[in-house]
Structure 1
Amino acid sequence: MDQAPVLAEVVTRQLESMLSVGNYDGVKMLLAPVQPVDVAEAIGNLPRTLQALAFRLLRKDEAIEVYEYLDPAVQQSLLERLRSGEVLELVEEMSPDDRVRLFDELPAKVVRRLLAELSPAERKVTAQLLGYAPETAGRLMTTEYIDLKDFHSAAQALTIVRRRARQTETIYSLYVTDGERHLTGILSLRDLVTADPEDRLGDVMTREVVSVGTDTDQEDVARAIQRYDFLAVPVVDRERRLVGIVTVDDVIDVIEQEATRDLYAAGAVEAGDEDDYFQSNLFTVARRRVVWLSVLVVASFFTSEVIALNEQVLKEVVLLAAFIPLLAGTGGNVGAQSSTVVIRGLSTQSIASLGRIKAVVREATAGLLLGLLMMVLVVPFAWWRGESPLVGLSVGTSLLAITTLAATAGAGFPLLFDRMGLDPALMSTPFITTCTDVVGTLIYLKTAQWLLAHMPQLLQSTGISAHFWLAAFS
């Protein structure tokens, strides 16, 4: 069992109790041994009136780290409640990448004011990061890293690392640049510590460096770090000058953000700001869900229209209507399964080894096989329940066609959207289900209509009399 949420809950209760009676020394003693991430969660769970008070009781160095772990909504709330001088000091001391993420959540007017009040050096680096497109390596990176020169000895490099360690985000990956800041090599802290003090870095560094560009999508950055088991990946501009690094902790946030976005899209929910969904008011919740639901409701009108246009066959064999939900639900489920595995394959790039066309063919074949397997169960039941072969044959034939079509559509639509440069997750489960409902109902009723009109002649051609046919359907 994960103890972190339990710990944060306990700290929150004790924290609220102490703040309510003014036991501020007790608060300081309570929070001193707690990890910053747990302190951030505990403060975030407090009533808004107590959040700023609890935050002010933190030590200055601890407050900066705790603030970076807070949810964006809590960060904004604290900025509103803290005094101007406290806000400026807090923002000034934040790491550049965390500061940029905060600015992305703030109103433009507030961002301009805070930028103007930053020191020239921090203002320059913040403006630089804000200048890159959202959700790219340039926007995600930090400029706090250690770069060395290939002519440095290992002993000189260790001295530089010791001097700059407290001002940089990570020291475990060290980067070597030339006089024009071009990235020429990389070495780990282990390589540096185990090297002979007199060795030149040019002799011990790795020259084949994996890097990303400032315009690389953040998902591709995450894949690079995952693929090579990096703690950080260097970011270079078009001239291969080192401009920053993206660390693994930032990538974990990206993976969570992208996974949340895909899950929301799969459920036909507008993504918005994923982190504040359960803190949003009900009107915001409804707005983020009503758009897709309205589209799906309109699409469902076509199902009603298909049934209305084929009411004659339902009048002749009323029991056909009882199996419409079964066929529609099965088609929707099969399509949802196919779209899920394909969207996941696109996300992990595992589908690339198979190829897009083969992936669609594979899913279509799987849908056909699933239809055949389910026919073994459904057809005898439909024949028995309908007390006639017409219902059994109509359900069985339609089931086979619907599962094949649903699997093909579930695989093909996400791949088509991805090819068009759109988010494949937009081909959500509700959308696939609605489409298969419409087409599946049409296939089912048209199949029954055709069998009703032609089955007597087919049976007669095999020697079975029309009298037997009519008796079977009576």
Structure 2
Amino acid sequence: MTENPITNNKDSRHQLRDLVASQLKLMLDANNLEGAKSLLIPVQPVDIAEAIEDLPETMQLIAFRLLNKTEAIDVYEHLEYATQQSLIEEFKRQEVLDIVDKMSPDDRARLFDELPALVVKRILAQLSPEERQATNLLLGYEENTAGRIMTPEYISLKAHLTLGETLERLRSQARVSELIYYIYVTDESRHLIGVLSLRDLVIHDPHQTLGEVMKTDVIYIKTDMDQEEVAKLVQRYDFLAVPVVDRELRLVGIVTVDDVIDILEQEATEDIYALGAVQADGDNYFETNLFTVARRRVSWLLVLLLTNTFTGSIIGAQEDILAEITVLAAFIPLLIDSGGNIGTQSSTVVIRGISTDELKDLGVGKVILREAIAGALLGLGLGLITILWAYLLPQSDRNLTVALSVGISLMAISVLASIAGSGLPFLFKLLKLDPALMSGPFITTAVDVLGVLIYFNIARYMLGF
């Protein structure tokens, strides 16, 4: 049998997407709808979604309508929110119901977060009573909590059932449950009392009851737990899903590993943007309007612009020494840039350590001391190189004192930058501020201002001013 060139492509996922998108566009341009439909048959839903997103907007709806109803639901859940919103505005009423009504409640809730309120209200009114209730349940919880990202589609049974009876129930409920690898055991009041895996179900005697086989030390989360903490817990225990309970410990849903992967990606993206003092607000940065991008980025830049005027004022106050030894000005960019880079390196590893809980056993003092020693070692190495370079620089007239001033200043600034880079994230966390967003700009400012002060004070002392 001839292998399909798409399903057996050895290239990367992006190359596969580009291949599908380019062929799909050619077929749609030629109005070859049957060929386009056949092209998509062997392709995975996530790859179809990415291929559709690469098409011009005028073709996206045409390509989406080539899919059968079941596949269309899977593909729609993988589309970016902007594309989902664009398509839903073009759908006819029945198309909206066919897709949205069959989506997973947690995916539907995330979609509704992005849609205009009037559209959400209209769609909610058209959903089946069961789906409307499930969606309203999730929308009632705060954003970025376990309650908002959980799905109420799980398998819950009573402890008196035998494993044989459980297997029969599993067969009948599998199509309406998002995950069947865990069976949750509840009492008559829906309190979570145990859990067993599909593996436990098939290896034990079918005449045993769930109560005899289940694990009673269940790890669960509450509906108000932050989604980032949920992701850490699932990652720690390697779960495929984790049960969610309300304040009375009644089982209300589960968070699955696919949602956790999305959360980890989202949180990592937010931290990376924050390190550059860029607020993304959960949007795709490269699809955001440029005026919105500029508005989000300008606030921190204005803060930095204002605080950096202090650096200019300090340099302006050194006219006497700069007038006598003008070469000192040539080393200012080197010193503050090196300090800023060292501070950013320290803050990056500390913020990452805070995020992954790697630093909880070390303690704040040990972390800062460790980074200070690292800064001293870096400063020593860089300082010695800088002394040699500054001495050999033609403008310095082989002035050893100037070269020593620059080298010693770089050593001091390196230690200062390391302490600031490692200490500020802890300070902002203590103040309940985002360490990633706050640390970068403040480290840059502190190192610039204090670095220039250190440099000129050392130079004045060594040069006798």
Same fold (TM over 0.5): yes
Q: Determine if the alignment matches structure 1 residue 176 to structure 2 residue 191.
A: no
Q: State the distance in 2 between where 1:212 and 1:325 align.
A: 51
CA shift, 1:291, in A, is 2.0
Q: Does 1:278 align with 2:286?
A: yes
Q: Which residue of 2 aligns with 1:459?
A: none
1:294-350: CA deviation from partner (whole Å, max 9, x where unpaired)? 222222212111110112111111111111111111101110010000000001000
Give the equivalent residue in structure 2 for 1:377: 385
Matched with 2:318 is 310
Distance (Å, rounded) in 1 between the aligned partners of 2:194 and 2:11:
40
Shift of 1:427: 3.0
Q: Judge conservation of contact 2:428–2:439 (CA < 8 Å) in 1.
A: no
Contact 2:279–2:296 (CA under 8 A) maintained in structure 1: yes
Supply the AA of the counterpart residue of 2:173: R
* Alignment correspondent of 2:375: 367
**Which residue does 1:65 correspond to in 2?**
74
- Relative to the length of structure 1, the TM-score reads 0.93
- The answer to whether structure 1 residue 80 and structure 2 residue 89 are counterparts is yes
The answer as to whether partners of 2:339 and 2:447 remain within 8 angstroms in 1 is: yes
Query: Quick one: which of 332, 338, 345 aligns to 2:346?
Result: 338
1:391 aligned residue (394, 402, 405): 402
8 Å Cα contact 1:185/1:206 also seen in 2: yes
- Separation (CA, whole Å) in 1 of partners of 2:98 and 2:311: 60
Match of 1:457 in 2: none
Q: Which residue of 1 aligns with 2:414?
A: 403
Tell me what 1:138 maps to.
147
* Paired residue secondary structure (1:294): helix
Q: Give the SS at the match of 2:196.
A: strand
Find 1:204's aligned residue among 185, 196, 213.
213
**Structure 1 residue 265 and structure 2 residue 263: aligned?**
no
Determine the structure 1 residue equivalent to 2:166: 157
* Alignment partners' CA distance in 1, 2:138 and 2:235: 23
AA paired with 1:378? T
Partner letter of residue 246 of structure 1? V
- In the alignment, structure 1 segments of 5+ residues that lack a partner are 455-474
CA offsets 1:138-192 (integer angstroms, 9 cap, x no match): 1110000001111110001001110000111110111111111111111111110
Of 245-254 and 100-109, more deviation after overlay is shown by: 100-109
- The residue number in structure 1 matching 2:25 is 16
How do 1:399-438 and structure 2 match up within 5 A?
399-438=410-449
**Which residue is 1:294 aligned to?**
302
Q: 2: distance between equivalents of 1:107 and 1:322?
A: 55
Q: Of the candidates 325, 328, 332, which is equivalent to residue 336 of structure 2? A: 328
Give the Cα separation in 2 of the matches to 1:29 and 1:380. 69
Aligned partner of residue 250 in structure 1, secondary structure:
helix
Q: Which has the higher helix share?
A: 1
Superposition pairs for residues 106-145 of structure 1, below 5 Å? 106-145=115-154
The code of the aligned residue for 1:294 comes to L
Deviations 1:10-46 (A, max 9, x none): 1111111212222221122111111000011111111
In 2: Cα distance, 1:30 partner to 1:381 partner: 63
State the match for 2:156 in structure 1: 147
2:359 is paired with a residue of what secondary structure? helix
Aligned residues of 1:267 and 1:428 also touching (Cα < 8 A): no
SS of alignment partner, residue 142 of structure 1: coil
Contact 2:76 2:84 in 1 (8 A): yes
Query: Offset at 1:381?
Result: 2.4
Question: 1:439, CA displacement in angstroms?
Answer: 1.3
1:96-107 matches, within 5 Å, as 96-107=105-116
User: What amino acid does structure 2 have at the position aligned with 1:439?
Assistant: L
Identity score, percent: 57
- Measured after TM superposition, the shift of residue 274 of structure 1 is 3.4
Question: What CA distance in whole angstroms lies between the structure 2 residues aligned with 1:449 and 1:334?
Answer: 25
Q: In structure 2, the residue corresponding to 1:352 is in which secondary structure?
A: coil
2:242 to 233, 237, 252: 233
2:198 to 189, 203, 213: 189
Say yes or no: does 1:353 pair with 2:361.
yes
1:121, distance to aligned residue in structure 2 (A): 1.4
In 1: Cα distance, 2:422 partner to 2:126 partner: 52
Distance 1:258 1:236 in 2: 24
| Cα distance in 1 for residues equivalent to 2:24 and 2:95 | 22
Structure 1 residue 430, shift from structure 2 partner: 4.7
Contact 1:149 1:178 survives alignment (8 Å):
yes
SS at match of 1:93: coil
**Alignment-mate amino acid for residue 348 of structure 2:** T
SS for the counterpart of 1:351 is: coil
Q: Is the 8 A contact 1:177 1:185 kept in 2?
A: yes
- 1 CA distance for matches of 2:334 and 2:184? 61
| 1:452 is aligned to 2:463 | yes
- Residue of structure 1 equivalent to 2:3: none
Which residue identity lines up with residue 171 of structure 1 in the other structure? I
Distance 1:373 1:93 in 2: 63
Instruction: Provide, for residues 405-464 of structure 1, a one-character-per-residue CA deviation record: whole Å limited to 9, x for no partner.
Output: 11111011111111111111013435422321121011101221222237xxxxxxxxxx
Partner Cα distance (2:364, 2:183) in 1? 40
Q: Work out which of the residue numbers 52, 55, 65 in structure 2 matches 1:46.
A: 55
For the Cα contact (< 8 Å) 2:424–2:439, is it kept in 1?
Answer: no
Alpha-carbon separation, structure 2, partners of 1:68 and 1:114: 16
Contact 1:221 1:251 in 2 (8 A): yes
1:257–1:274 Cα contact (<8 Å) kept: no
- Does the CA contact (< 8 Å) of 2:421 and 2:439 recur in 1? no
Mapped to 1, the partners of 2:402 and 2:246 lie a distance apart of 66
TM-aligned CA deviation for residue 197 of structure 1: 1.0
Query: Quick one: distance in 2 between partners of 1:132 and 1:46?
Result: 36
Residue correspondences, number: 453
User: Which one-letter code corresponds to 2:304 in the other structure?
Assistant: L
Quick one: distance in 1 between partners of 2:320 and 2:136? 69
